[in-house]
Amino acid sequence: MEQEKNAENSGSNPNAHCSVDNHSCAGRRWRWRIIGLGAALVVGVWFFREPLRQQIFSRALLANDVPTDEAVQGMIDSAPDPSAALLASWNTGKITHRLLAMQKLPSAVGHGQPLPAALRRMLLAAALDPDLDVRELALGALDDRNDPAGAALGAAQLNDLDPQVRLLGLMHLKKLRAEEGVPWVAPMLHDTNPQILAFAMKLLEDWSGEKFGVKLADAVPSEDANTGLTVFDDASYSKTRVAADRAEKWWGEHKGSFHPARWEIPAEAMAELKPIYASDFTLQTLDGKSVRLSDLRGRVVLLNFWATWCTACVSELPELVALQKNHHDQLTILGVSMDFVPNEDNREALSSPDAIRKKVARTIEQRGINYPVLLDEKNAVGGRFNGGELPTTVILDGEGRIRRRFIGTRSSEVFEAMIAEASKPMPPMQIAQGTAAK
């Protein structure tokens, strides 16, 4: 009976024999646990396979120096938290990712919804970014949201050495009341750029009800027949100057009626500003010589993305040649040829690389280019600096930090000022207080 009882207990309790063989029992328990954990892992991966796949894809995309616009936009659109995806793109420090983050911000956060604090800090800092495209998008977003910091950040553009930045600032002061806007815009009557003068006077006319006799059409630049550069003719200078004299007379008579507005750039905007470093690259010249960007540390570097088929690019070449000649001791210009990137103006890029090289070589010789011209045959560098629109210029200081990035031509005087700026230490990130000039 005792044996039958033991046998019965042994049958009903699979671990009853463990008192005899503890090692065998423990082994079986561990095998069952491992099998259970493996099954749970398989089930977990099955149920969470899409989030895992998306996370891996997002990390790879953020690490990619030359992603497609569609891929980054798709990542942001499909992210469970679009705000976090925007910030992740911005924080890469990569030009393309940062620009796409700014482009996607309005659709990622609806117009009627408040911006999360981290996104607003990003937006405020972007209005002071070295990339002019980013600045423009940020100021537009601030205007659309009627952000109270928009006026201070718009006015902060007015003292910039680039006339296109000053013009951008004026455009974003249009919503101000007369008592706010007039004291900020009146000092622009001393600007030497006809387009800025004309725009400033139109704002003053709108606010004051006066007529100074200027039309925006009086300050439209045209292409110089000899150089191909976009320039203002003598009539533009004379017409805008005469009208500016009238406006200055009015301002002198009414200055006492206006009290300069005091605006402070938000501290969080300044705190969020961080240096942006250009990623390293190596490209070859026509004769096969390799040029590596990091080998040029200690010198100001001007990257000029251009193509032989781009009229504006070719017209700008004499300016760059003169700039390199005048500053050869401190400046290196690298012309990055985008002729190998196929587009509607460059059909031959698909079929005849040799023909492209010959065309680039002819332009170098005919234009007397005195700086290295690099061949970006796979758009590896143009893609990361977003050189799709031409000409695109990127100015780096001796530490490899991006000090300026913009699209379009600039005059010799503006280039000179930008090189001088990049030759000096980057100013400390301090809170900038703005007071309209009296």
Buried b or exposed e, range 168-196, using 16+ CB within 10 angstroms: bbbbbbeebeeebbbbbbbebbebebbbb
Q: Which CATH number applies to 282-423: 2.70.150.10, 3.40.50.300, 3.30.420.40, 3.40.30.10?
A: 3.40.30.10
pLDDT at 257: 92
- The span from the CA of 351 to the CA of 342, in Å, is 10
Q: How far, in Å, CA of 245 to CA of 197, rounded? A: 11
Rg (alpha carbons) of the chain, rounded to whole number: 31
Residue 191 has pLDDT above 90, yes or no: yes
Tens-place pLDDT, residues 336-378:
999 998 877 666 666 788 989 999 999 999 999 999 999 999 9
Residue in 265, 281, 283 with CA at minimum distance from that of residue 273:
265
Q: What does the domain layout of the chain look like in residue ranges?
A: 152-264, 282-423
> Model confidence at 157, in pLDDT bands (50, 70, 90)?
very high
- In this predicted structure, the answer to whether residue 10 has a pLDDT above a threshold of 50 is no
Chain mean pLDDT for the chain: 86
387-435: per-residue pLDDT in tens? 679 999 999 999 999 999 999 999 999 999 999 999 999 876 533 333 3
